A and B are shown apart, each in its own frame.
Chain A
Amino acid sequence: MAALSALLRRDIRLAARVGGGALMGVLFFLIVVAMVPFALGPDLALLARTGPAILWVGALLASLLALDRLFAADHEDGSLDLILMGRAPLELAVAAKALAHWLTTGVPLVIAAPLLGLFLNLAPAAIGAVALTLLVGTPALTCIGLIGAALAVALRRGGLLVPVLVLPLTVPVLIFGVAASNAALAGPVPFGTPFTVLVALTLASVVVGPFAAAAALRHGLD
């Protein structure tokens, strides 16, 4: 347990220092969301209707693009070798890194979402629903993205490979995240139905993600 908390604290510290990516995800999120009206037009009614979807797609891209360096940085400086030689199970070490990444990238996205909701003219209920679904859904995005990040390191390829591998896997999370947000806004299904599925998807990803990522890292040894 001490080993895992050491890893967690190190990753959070690194994200917050110079060169760390803690606020980069939020900045990307902000820019993506701000770009959408230039394509759609400044029609406030249209933006309010599509707002939850825009915010979800923005958060999805922001959280996945930031994952690229999750294992790559440790691989380049040799830290990954030593992480593999620790006494803590690799699955838990990977999960600790994922938690640190979510705390430094996912949580800021959730906090920024209501503010961006104002830009898109969302109603207060919709803003609350989007923030709640993102709070529940971003851990799933991180844990699914974890698998792609581990595969990218194992294959020694970075950049766009992670989103290409991972985006299709995040389709269910996107569907139910946006569906729950829209349900809170307009119906016709009650909020609880898609939201419960979203919670289930997150729980499943949190379990499967670290196992798959650890397996990818072990098999990618070289």
Chain B
Amino acid sequence: MRLSELANPSRFNALAERLLPWLVVATVLAFALGLYQALFVAPDDYQQGATVKIMFIHVPSAWLGMLGWALMAVAALGTLVWRHPLADVAMKTAAPIGAAFTLICLVTGSLWGRPTWGTYWVWDARLTSVLILFLMYLGVIALWRTVEDPSRAARAAAILTLVGAVNLPIIKFSVDWWNTLHQPASVLRLGGSTIYPTILTPLLITAIAFTLLFVTLHLMAMRNEILRRRVRTLRLMRAAAANP
């Protein structure tokens, strides 16, 4: 059909093939260092004991959950303004990865909450905002799954993503207001400015490790999506050729 359109993604795939081995090695090294620091160097919390170490997974995944949406929003601009097929691919493949990190953040937050708050879930302002981010990710994924034609789905998803990006701060603000309205000052404050360097260093390293993991997974997913689209084009060509 339009094999010329695939030329640019082909070059992208060649680049991804060359980059991926390095990225995998870097991710593994960063995780090894980060986990060592987190498990053996960082001290236990005087109140929470070893449970505080969930933070080294929880906080980076929260960052990456938000980073995923920011990436999607940038790619959405690429889709709407430049109509670049790679932007579509980047936007589509970032959604499940961002959703996965957001889910990790929710699950670790809930496991952390069990010993700290006594229940698996508290409608804490931060966790609730992350839950809404997760729901919005699921909505975008559902949108991609509803429409078979990728370029039509891409434009719809781009609009939804940008609207979501504009709305996320408003949602965050509303949830904060809603939460303080109901639970004045009883919300457990985590983090803040009281972090010691012995905790901050491992946290930064694990954050870098998680970011590398995100980039690696995203590149792999983009490569797969490009191949999937190529298969689709070839199948459409085969269908057009099948005449008696």
Interface size class of A (residues with CB under 8 A): 10 to 19
**Beta-carbon contact of A42 and B148 below 8 Å:** no
Residues 158-186 of B contacting A (Cβ, < 8 Å): 178-179, 181-183
Task: Given contact pairs A18-B145, A19-B148, A42-B122, enumerate 8 new A-B contacts (beta carbons under 8 Å).
Answer: A30-B138, A41-B181, A42-B128, A42-B178, A42-B179, A42-B183, A43-B182, A44-B122
A24 beta carbon closer than 8 Å to chain B? yes
Per-position binary interface string of chain A over residues 1-37, scored 1 when its CB falls under 8 Å from any chain B CB and 0 otherwise: 0000000000000000011000110010011001001
B50 beta carbon closer than 8 Å to chain A? no
**Residue in B123, B131, B146, B178 whose Cβ sees the most chain A Cβ within 10 Å:** B123
From A43, which residue of chain B is reached at the shortest CB distance?
A: B182
For chain B, the count of residues having a C-beta within 8 Å of the partner chain is: 22
Q: A37-B123, A118-B120 are in contact. Are A24 and B142 (CB under 8 A)?
A: yes
Per-position binary interface string of chain B over residues 122-162, scored 1 when its CB falls under 8 Å from any chain A CB and 0 otherwise: 11000010011001001100100111100000000000000
B13 beta carbon closer than 8 Å to chain A? no
Q: A24-B142, A37-B123 are in contact. Are A19 and B147 (CB under 8 A)?
A: yes
**Beta-carbon contact of A121 and B142 below 8 Å:** no
5 smallest beta-carbon distances between A and B, as pairs: A42-B123, A41-B182, A118-B120, A119-B121, A18-B148
Docked complex Cα distance between A118 and B119 (Å): 8
Docked complex Cα distance between A27 and B139 (Å): 8
15 CB < 8 A contacts A-B? A18-B145, A18-B146, A18-B148, A19-B145, A19-B148, A24-B142, A27-B139, A27-B142, A31-B135, A42-B123, A42-B178, A42-B179, A118-B120, A119-B121, A121-B121
Q: How far is the CB of B38 from chain A (nearest CB, A)?
A: 27
Which chain A positions have C-beta within 8 A of B122?
42, 44
From A21, which residue of chain B is reached at the shortest CB distance?
A: B146
**Beta-carbon contact of A27 and B121 below 8 Å:** no
Docked complex Cα distance between A31 and B135 (Å): 7
Name the prevailing secondary structure of the A interface residues.
helix
Which chain B positions have C-beta within 8 A of A119?
121
**Beta-carbon contact of A42 and B182 below 8 Å:** yes
**Beta-carbon contact of A34 and B179 below 8 Å:** no
Q: How far is the CB of B20 from chain A (nearest CB, A)?
A: 27
Q: How far is the CB of B237 from chain A (nearest CB, A)?
A: 20
Docked complex Cα distance between A31 and B147 (Å): 21
Which chain A positions have C-beta within 8 A of B182?
41-43
Which chain B positions have C-beta within 8 A of A23?
142
Residues 176-213 of A contacting B (Cβ, < 8 Å): none
Docked complex Cα distance between A27 and B146 (Å): 13
Docked complex Cα distance between A172 and B168 (Å): 40
Which chain B positions have C-beta within 8 A of A121?
119, 121
**Beta-carbon contact of B121 and A118 below 8 Å:** yes
Which chain B positions have C-beta within 8 A of A118?
110, 120-121
Docked complex Cα distance between A43 and B123 (Å): 8
Q: How far is the CB of A70 from chain B (nearest CB, A)?
A: 17
Q: How far is the CB of A56 from chain B (nearest CB, A)?
A: 19
Q: A19-B146, A19-B147, A43-B182 are in contact. Are A30 and B121 (CB under 8 A)?
A: no
Which chain A positions have C-beta within 8 A of B128?
42
**Beta-carbon contact of A34 and B145 below 8 Å:** no
Residues 25-84 of A contacting B (Cβ, < 8 Å): 27, 30-31, 34, 37-38, 41-44
Which chain A positions have C-beta within 8 A of B121?
118-119, 121
From A118, which residue of chain B is reached at the shortest CB distance?
A: B120
From A41, which residue of chain B is reached at the shortest CB distance?
A: B182
**Residue in A37, A42, A118 whose Cβ sees the most chain B Cβ within 10 Å:** A42
Docked complex Cα distance between A24 and B132 (Å): 17
